[in-house]
Structure 1
Amino acid sequence: MAGSDEVNANESKRVVPLNTWILISNFKLAYNMLRRPDGTFNRDLNEFLDRKVPANANPVAGIYSFDVIIDRSTGLLNRERTESEKRLDGKYFVKIQDRDWYWRAYLPEGEDRDHPACNVFGPRARPIKSFGFPKSLVVVAELDLLQDWQLGYVDGLRKNGVEVRLLFLEKATIGFYFLPNNEHFCCLMDELNEFLHS
């Protein structure tokens, strides 16, 4: 595939060892089987596969649980996709649909992605300069579908006068740091050590 920007599924098998790729693929299959199209989990299938206690708003031994209903009319997901999101969607273990669900679960009800918790350079965020942001090391994996957002974060920090060191790892996938048997992990550890002692 020399000279092409296309990424195929076979390349993902060569980025990590085969046994690791199989484990991740099995986890991904189980995860996707349990998810409904709207991002919620299929409780019936989950209960069949692994017995769990259903949601209960009445505390039992001080513990209660509840389901969260996401209102799709909030406009949370109505934003333009970046080039890396389009190019890497569904390849290398993560889909945009998964990431969108994470945002919905993370942000307070009724909020969009201009919330300061996820858009530190957005219209409602406090200026970074106002609280003395420390020097930073930002690690970006080439095969992470959020790489364009991560690189934008680096640019935003630099524009605000923050000292930033960028470590861009070619051929690294999302979560590469969980796999200590690869060159990217070793490179990250060396860079972290150097950064912390600089």
Structure 2
Amino acid sequence: LVQPFFGAEQRTRSESECPRDAVLNLELTDAFWRLSLPLGSNRDHPFSNPWSPGAPKLEEISMPPLLVTIGGRDILRDRAHEYSDLLKQKGKSVEVVVAEEEEHAFYILRPKSQSFQRLSQQISRFISAVHTDNHT
């Protein structure tokens, strides 16, 4: 999951403290959810909030190992960390990689950056390791 995009009605610290001039800010995330969720729904809908009562029970879902990448300055970083922790609590194999100085979508906005190069290498290493583990 490259910088997963989750939401909920209750704001996280990273959402509440996000600068208005961030690439992805609270105004934009709220607009994306209004456009994405079924009419009449809020950010606690299972599509946006994996902690909501109507969300699928993760312990009942078979998942391959997951790599979760997080920007250290991403407005959604708290939710990504919480989701990774939730998956681990449910017995899922999860590896987390944090690009400390990066905001949301840095890999699209600056594809020649050192951070993108590191992320590409980490993704490649993860895929190779999972592929090797599944074929030995």
TM-score normalized by the length of structure 2: 0.82
Report the structure number with the largest CA radius of gyration.
1
- Which structure exhibits the higher relative contact order, with contacts defined as CA atoms closer than 8 Å and separated by 6 or more residues? 2
Letter in 2 for 1:194: R
Unaligned runs of at least 5 residues, structure 2: 1-6, 130-136
1:112-151 superposed matches below 5 A: 112-151=42-81
Residue 86 of structure 1, CA deviation = 2.2
1:1-198 superposed matches below 5 A: 79-178=9-108, 179-198=110-129
Letter in 2 for 1:140: I
1:139–1:168 contact (8 Å) kept in structure 2: yes
1:121–1:127 contact (8 Å) kept in structure 2: no
1:84–1:145 contact (8 Å) kept in structure 2: yes
Alignment RMSD: 1.7
Distance 2:61 2:14 in 1: 31
Distance 1:163 1:146 in 2: 21
Partner residue of 1:56? none
CA displacement, residues 143-181 of structure 1 (integer Å, 9 cap, x when unaligned):
111111111111111111110000011111211111222
Letter in 2 for 1:112: N
Stretch of structure 1 that moved more, 176-185 or 85-94 = 85-94
Unaligned runs of at least 5 residues, structure 1: 1-76
1:119–1:125 contact (8 Å) kept in structure 2: yes
Instruction: Tell me the matched-pair count.
Output: 122
